[in-house]
Structure 1
Amino acid sequence: MLYMSPNAHLAQKQSLVFTPQLQQAIKLLLFNNIELSNYVEKIAEENPFVEVELPQIRIATPPLISASQRDPSFDPISLLADTSTQGFAAQLFAQVDDILTEQAERAIGYAIASHVEPSGWLSVPLSVLASNLGLDEQPVHAVLRKLQTAEPAGLFARNLAECLALQIALDDPDRAALLIVVENLQLVERGAIVELRRKIGCSAEEVKRLLRRLRGFNPKPGLALADDAMMAARAPDILAARGPDGAWFVELNGATLPILKVDEIEGRRVRKLVKHDSDQAYVRDTLGNARWLKRAIAQRNETSIKVAAEIVRFQKAFLEHGMQHMRPLKLKTVADAVGLHESTISRVTSSLMMQTPQGTFPLKTFFSTAIELDGTDEGVSARMVREKIRNLIGAENPSGPLSDEFIAQSLQCEGLNIARRTIAKYRKLDKIPSSSQRRRSYRLRAAV
């Protein structure tokens, strides 16, 4: 016979309680510096004990980092013990990769893209960019002209007139007249229709029609690529550079980082004034939340620096020599090195941008899978292989486009064991047509 009776016993178990503070800490890891500023500003509106010093974001981006411009006594490293739609910066850099095929040109393109405002305009004179890169202005200008074919039309313009001119199609029947109007925007501003008529050689009604057409152009084409969360993503969150001794260092970009303070004096004064238990509890909880938020932001900043420093240490060859020297890197490798969980590394790298001598990149850019390379244990980065494929196709003879099979064999000669289907996969990821499609495209260009 089966007997049943109630029985009580004790047991220990571990569980994670998803508290509001834990939720807030995770949210902070997902913020870039601009989003963090907006978040703490809202908190300060609700919490009387929180004081926020918001960053004064510079309209003009600073020139590329030079080691001589850094304080040699400051070395943050010495202090250290998948996804939704692409944002503005990611789409901009993707177009640089699509348009430019040569490694030297792409390095210039990355530098130019690093100085493009969310409006789509280039914020730094070409002479400054050329000086920072140690080049003559001519090759920089040549790369800029290629980038100005990007979509939407008008990207990489240096002023309003150039932005509008880039949006006039080459086969537009009004192209000549529209270009005259664009070159004389000061007359448009003054409403000098008679002078415009003389320059174009047309009637007043025709001038008005041309002006109506120009009003339909977009003076800020970059906004078409940006969503609200990525509007300010161009400004880097982290800066990486070499010190005078040749060692690399990283630091948070103070120009985009908010400073949060807790008004302890006001907290003590208010606690002495209130008498009711409910008021005392409110002051205690509000002051406690302010202190916790300050600690959480400090922890977020420290974590960001740790992760960025490890990436810089691991990808030093890339920072010094470019994309061809990108090493394969996994989230787990960085997680083990800094003593954090992989999910934390994933959150930290989801939105942060780092400025380097090679350009400004999302932290996600520095991670890629390893591909077997004969004679090495580590292998090579998948990003480096994609770069090799782009270079091979960019240098191909238009009369005989390279097939995926031929590219696979060429890479195998370099010790890279990559299947043809993998070549096709990488080619599609980079939006490169097949060899037959490229052959038709070459023939069409020759006919035109």
Structure 2
Amino acid sequence: MISYSMNVQLAQKQSLVFTPQLQQAIKLLLLTNIDLSSYAEKMAEENPFLEVELPSRGSVESRNSITSMPSTSPQSDFDPVSLLVDTSGASFGARLFQQVEETLKNPFERKIGYAIASHVEPSGWLSLSTCALAESLGVDEKFVEQALTKLQSAEPSGLFARNLAECLRLQISTSDYDYAKMTIIIDNLPLVARGALTALRRKTGCHADDIRRLLQRLRSLDPKPGLALFNGIAPPVRQPDIITGKTLDGEWFVEMNQATLPIIKVDEVTGHKVRKLVNAPQDQAFVRDTLGNARWLSRAIAQRNETSIKIAAEIVRIQKPFLEHGIQHMRPLKLKTVADAVGVHESTISRVTSSLMMQTPQGTYPLKIFFSTAIELGGHDEGVSARVVREKIRSLVGAEVPGKPLSDETIVQELNRAGLNIARRTIAKYRKLDKIPSSFQRRRNYQLQGII
């Protein structure tokens, strides 16, 4: 017979509870400075006691973003978008709008042209389809196509293209002697990428020497004509979050980039005034909680910045040889090494280094690039960074004789002579990571370039 009984027992246990504030703190570690500014601004919209002073973006290129326009009839002469045009002549957007004004004279077409120009990437390519543009403008797609066709005659050639093939095709005059054959080459770019010379000869009806000449012309075309509008200076992907360098005394410093970092303030004065004015318990609770959230966010962002500085400072301390002498001197580094030195968990190091970028004397790099595994190096206890090995592989391939590209086995032998014990499969893995073709494919590429 089965008997049942009930009893009560006391037990102690530890558990980690992901409170909303903890989740928010983890999220802050994953944000770049620019993303942090946007996040803080959003929080300030919801919290009356939180003040956010956003960094000045005066030096950042303005894209003159125009995502939609009201439907306008062809007979309308009023052009509201023209009032937004930057006529300073210094920016990428200003140059694009200038092309619109010079190319499109009809007011209706010019409105469409402004919308097209606002969706052109720095490369010079149009990032939005004509169908989507027509829908946002409330006009027939044929009007967008007509305006785009006219804009594609602008300089530099290839501007306002929708893809690579169209960009290259726009750079060849229809009166060019090789226009038909070059068009066939451009329409078969996958064959060019594979180095399929025989297939290209069959499609164009050309001899091998003619194919090489056409491919040389193809290489002379500019796949990103929009960069010419920057006067040779391409816009950076984004500004760094952290800056490191040497002082006049030769000491290394690490600091947050104040040009991208928001300033967070809690309006304590207003908070105390409001608490004295409200009497209802629920209103007092709202003021207390809202003010508390503002204080917590301010502290959390300050803690995020402090943690980022500590991690970056430890990376700089370990990677001084790289910062002073270049990639060949990068040391192997693990997350645990920095975590132990800073006094945080490895996951925190991983989160911070996954998004932040640091400006150094050697260039601007993501923090995660400073971490790599160690590879055995003869006579050296520490080993050598995997990134150093990858750089050596790139250097060897870059210096190879075109007619005799180095095989993976030959690269292994060269590295062994330098004291690096590397397996052939490791060479193949690093070569693929750096998108270096095999020796066979490199030989084919050299043939396409007419080098051999």
Give the TM interval when normalised to the shorter protein: 0.5 to 0.7
- Equivalent residues of 2:157, 2:171 under 8 A apart: no
- The one-letter amino acid paired with 1:239 is I
Structure 1 CA distance for aligned equivalents of residues 28 and 44 of structure 2:
15
SS at match of 1:24: helix
Which blocks of at least 5 consecutive residues in structure 2 are unaligned?
Answer: 62-90, 96-120, 126-153, 177-222, 230-234
- 1:22-57 Cα distance to aligned partner (Å, 9 max, x none): 010000000010000000000000000000111002
Percent same amino acid at aligned positions? Answer: 67
- Equivalent residues of 2:158, 2:169 under 8 A apart: no
- Which residue of structure 2 lines up, in the alignment, with residue 382 of structure 1? 386
Structure 2 CA distance for aligned equivalents of residues 321 and 217 of structure 1:
33
Select 1:275's aligned residue among 276, 279, 299. 279
1:58 CA drift (Å): 4.2
- Equivalent residues of 2:122, 2:226 under 8 A apart: no
1:269 CA drift (Å): 0.5
- Which residue of structure 1 lines up, in the alignment, with residue 303 of structure 2? 299
> Relative contact order (alpha carbons < 8 A, sep ≥ 6): 1 or 2 greater?
1
Structure 1 CA distance for aligned equivalents of residues 308 and 237 of structure 2:
16
Structure 1 CA distance for aligned equivalents of residues 92 and 26 of structure 2:
27
2:401 equivalent to 1:402: no
- Equivalent residues of 2:36, 2:262 under 8 A apart: yes
- Which residue of structure 1 lines up, in the alignment, with residue 262 of structure 2? 258
Structure 2 CA distance for aligned equivalents of residues 232 and 22 of structure 1:
33
Which blocks of at least 5 consecutive residues in structure 1 are unaligned?
Answer: 62-116, 122-150, 178-215, 223-230
- 1:90-110 Cα distance to aligned partner (Å, 9 max, x none): xxxxxxxxxxxxxxxxxxxxx
* Pair 283,221 (structure 1): closer, same or farther in 2 beyond 3 Å: farther
Structure 1 CA distance for aligned equivalents of residues 261 and 318 of structure 2:
25
2:447 equivalent to 1:443: yes
Select 1:241's aligned residue among 242, 245, 252. 245
Structure 2 CA distance for aligned equivalents of residues 16 and 392 of structure 1:
51
- The one-letter amino acid paired with 2:269 is I
- Which residue of structure 1 lines up, in the alignment, with residue 17 of structure 2? 17
- 1:418-437 Cα distance to aligned partner (Å, 9 max, x none): 10011011111111110111
1:175 CA drift (Å): 8.5
- Equivalent residues of 1:163, 1:219 under 8 A apart: no
Structure 1 CA distance for aligned equivalents of residues 50 and 386 of structure 2:
46
Matches within 5 A, 1:83-162: none
SS at match of 2:381: coil
Structure 2 CA distance for aligned equivalents of residues 441 and 152 of structure 1:
28
- Which residue of structure 1 lines up, in the alignment, with residue 355 of structure 2? 351
* Pair 284,242 (structure 1): closer, same or farther in 2 beyond 3 Å: same
- The one-letter amino acid paired with 1:297 is I
1:414 CA drift (Å): 1.1
- Equivalent residues of 1:330, 1:367 under 8 A apart: yes
- The one-letter amino acid paired with 1:329 is L
* Pair 283,118 (structure 1): closer, same or farther in 2 beyond 3 Å: farther
Structure whose alpha-carbon radius of gyration is higher: 2
- Which residue of structure 1 lines up, in the alignment, with residue 422 of structure 2? 418
2:46 equivalent to 1:46: yes
SS at match of 1:371: strand
2:380 equivalent to 1:368: no
- Which residue of structure 1 lines up, in the alignment, with residue 35 of structure 2? 35
* Pair 217,373 (structure 1): closer, same or farther in 2 beyond 3 Å: closer
Structure 1 CA distance for aligned equivalents of residues 434 and 405 of structure 2:
17
- Which residue of structure 1 lines up, in the alignment, with residue 79 of structure 2? none
- 1:209-252 Cα distance to aligned partner (Å, 9 max, x none): xxxxxxx9974799xxxxxxxx9852011000101221111000
1:440 CA drift (Å): 1.7
- 1:156-182 Cα distance to aligned partner (Å, 9 max, x none): xxxx966958986499531899xxxxx
1:273 CA drift (Å): 0.6
- 1:43-88 Cα distance to aligned partner (Å, 9 max, x none): 0000000001110024269xxxxxxxxxxxxxxxxxxxxxxxxxxx
TM-score, with normalisation over the residues of structure 1? Answer: 0.64
- Equivalent residues of 1:169, 1:175 under 8 A apart: no
SS at match of 2:244: strand
- Equivalent residues of 2:241, 2:260 under 8 A apart: yes
- The one-letter amino acid paired with 1:411 is L
- The one-letter amino acid paired with 1:291 is R
1:446 CA drift (Å): 2.2
* Pair 217,312 (structure 1): closer, same or farther in 2 beyond 3 Å: closer
2:196 equivalent to 1:173: no
- 1:318-377 Cα distance to aligned partner (Å, 9 max, x none): 000111111111111100110000000000111111001111111011111111101111
Structure 1 CA distance for aligned equivalents of residues 416 and 175 of structure 2:
52
- The one-letter amino acid paired with 1:52 is V
- The one-letter amino acid paired with 2:5 is S
- May I ask how many residue pairs the two structures share in their alignment? 313
Structure 2 CA distance for aligned equivalents of residues 312 and 268 of structure 1:
44
Structure 1 CA distance for aligned equivalents of residues 22 and 92 of structure 2:
33
- 1:245-300 Cα distance to aligned partner (Å, 9 max, x none): 21111000000000010000100000011111110110010000000000000100
- The one-letter amino acid paired with 1:173 is I
- Which residue of structure 2 lines up, in the alignment, with residue 7 of structure 1? 7
* Pair 175,381 (structure 1): closer, same or farther in 2 beyond 3 Å: farther
Structure 2 CA distance for aligned equivalents of residues 401 and 439 of structure 1:
6
- Equivalent residues of 1:58, 1:255 under 8 A apart: no
Structure 2 CA distance for aligned equivalents of residues 153 and 394 of structure 1:
27
* Pair 56,174 (structure 1): closer, same or farther in 2 beyond 3 Å: same
SS at match of 1:377: strand
Select 1:284's aligned residue among 288, 294, 300. 288
- Equivalent residues of 2:124, 2:224 under 8 A apart: no
2:80 equivalent to 1:57: no
- Equivalent residues of 1:404, 1:420 under 8 A apart: yes
